[in-house]
């Protein structure tokens, strides 16, 4: 009999329970895990991992049909759980050796999970995919672009090296025009949904006729508004583009959990980014954050991608420190003037479960 491990599907927020408490949830969610196994929860403080038992085998050796089935089950479990909870989905294929190791993962990445759960609370991912008929588009482009028309005529007349040069120039011009139109479409679609989405992510194109594959983070209760927007967008580009959306889905594109990074590394990097010392009150953290947020606000640095990325890091650092302070307050009575320590020993001690 092969050794069994614990397969991790996703992380959810729960009320605080004993670290030994474990509850069967397959009936609640009306779904089974990979290999038709029962689902259960492994708790650490106020987060829990949705898991099931699984033989410890490398997925690399599976037949494509079996692997596809496992991936599908992983996604279905996460989607079902999302009906009842906010979900931080884990990547496919994460297996721990035991429930104790799952708890160790939850403890080690506790601040990351809490920060991610706060970020995606009440939200879901919706993917908008845009397709076109490139042949029809190129024909239309040739009819309205005089420079392309001219080069096509020259290419049909000239032979030899001169003809090759003209064709290369024509190919480059067509490519540039196609890319320009693609970018214009993406920009317009983003602007169309601007009052709906909180964040967006450009995904890899998965079909030859696909020109955009955009994930949007949207509040779940605004799905009906998205439906109306999609109908309006379809009417606007009727005959030019085919547009569809997939969702709601767990926010795979908007959470980035690094299981190799512990709580101290995360908090230490965050407090350094905000320019804080090894101790600070929460008011000092907020004051520093607001000053930096104002200094690096996108309106102050328009069209500066580096500054846009920097403000995202500042926001993330503040969220991490805010969650750390909340975690400390859960263990101790909240005191307004408390100075929170960012020293390694204190950070690790503040996140350890104290057994009764």
Boundary residue ending a domain (104, 120, 136): 120
Q: What is the per-residue pLDDT for 333? A: 58
List, in order, residues 6 or more apart from 146 with CB less than 8 Å away: none
258 part of a folded domain: no
Whether the link from the prior residue into 248 is cis, omega within 30° of 0, is yes
Q: How many domains are contained in the chain?
A: 3
For residue 356, being part of any structural domain is answered with no
pLDDT of residue 179: 82
What are the DSSP calls for 129-184, one per residue?
EEEE-HHHHHHHHHHH-HHHHHHHHHHHH--HHHHHHHHHHHHHHHHHHHHHHHHH
Angle at Cα 68 formed by Cα 125 and Cα 128, nearest 5°?
A: 25
Could you tell me if residue 88 is inside a domain?
Answer: yes
Q: Of 58, 92, 120, which one is at a domain's C-terminal end?
A: 120
Assess contact for 267 and 320: CB atoms under 8 A.
Answer: yes
pLDDT reported for residue 260? 60
- Domain carrying residue 76: 4-120
Joined together, the tokens standing for residue 298 give 């996108």
Tokens of 344: 């390694």
In a domain, 170, yes or no: yes
- Residue 296: its pLDDT value, please? 80
CATH number reported for the structural domain that contains residue 286 in this entry: 1.10.287.110
Structure confidence at residue 332 (pLDDT): 59
Mean pLDDT by 10 residues, the chain (356 residues): 84 67 54 90 90 80 85 93 92 88 88 89 94 79 75 71 73 80 87 91 89 93 94 89 92 81 78 90 89 79 71 85 78 70 79 38
190 near 217, Cβ under 8 Å?
Answer: no
Per-residue pLDDT, 16: 55
Q: Pick the last residue of a domain from 120, 137, 165.
A: 120
What per-residue confidence (pLDDT) applies to 330?
63
209 and 295: one domain? Answer: no
């Amino acid at each position: 009999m092969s050794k069994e491990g614990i397969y991790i599907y996703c992380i959810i927020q729960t009320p605080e329970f004993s670290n030994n408490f474990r509850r069967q949830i397959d009936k609640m969610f009306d779904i089974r895990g990979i290999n038709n196994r029962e689902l259960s929860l492994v708790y650490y403080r106020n987060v829990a991992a949705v898991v099931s038992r699984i033989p410890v085998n490398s997925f690399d050796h599976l037949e494509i049909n079996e692997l596809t089935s496992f991936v599908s089950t992983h996604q279905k479990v996460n989607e079902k759980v999302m009906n009842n909870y906010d979900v931080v989905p884990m990547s496919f294929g994460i297996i721990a050796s035991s429930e104790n190791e799952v708890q160790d993962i939850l403890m080690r990445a506790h601040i990351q999970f809490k920060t991610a759960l706060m970020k995606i609370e009440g939200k879901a991912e919706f993917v908008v995919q845009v397709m076109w008929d490139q042949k029809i588009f190129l024909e239309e482009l040739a009819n309205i672009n005089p420079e392309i028309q001219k080069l096509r005529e020259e290419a049909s007349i000239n032979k030899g090296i001169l003809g090759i040069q003209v064709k290369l120039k024509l190919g480059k011009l067509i490519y540039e025009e196609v890319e320009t139109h693609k970018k214009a479409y993406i920009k317009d679609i983003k602007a169309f949904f601007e009052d709906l989405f909180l964040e967006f992510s450009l995904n890899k194109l998965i079909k030859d006729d696909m020109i955009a594959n955009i994930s949007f983070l949207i509040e779940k209760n605004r799905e009906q508004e998205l439906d109306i927007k999609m109908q309006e967008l379809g009417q606007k580009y009727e005959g030019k583009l085919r547009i569809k959306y997939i969702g709601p889905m767990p926010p795979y594109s908007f959470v980035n959990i690094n299981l190799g990074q512990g709580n101290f590394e995360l908090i230490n990097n965050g407090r350094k980014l905000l320019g804080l010392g090894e101790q600070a009150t929460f008011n000092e953290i907020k004051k520093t954050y607001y000053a930096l947020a104002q200094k690096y606000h996108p309106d102050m640095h328009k069209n500066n991608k580096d500054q846009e990325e920097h403000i995202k890091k500042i926001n993330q650092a503040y969220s991490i420190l805010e969650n750390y302070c909340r975690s400390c307050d859960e263990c101790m009575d909240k005191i307004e003037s408390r100075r929170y320590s960012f020293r390694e020993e204190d950070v690790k001690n503040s996140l350890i479960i104290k057994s009764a």
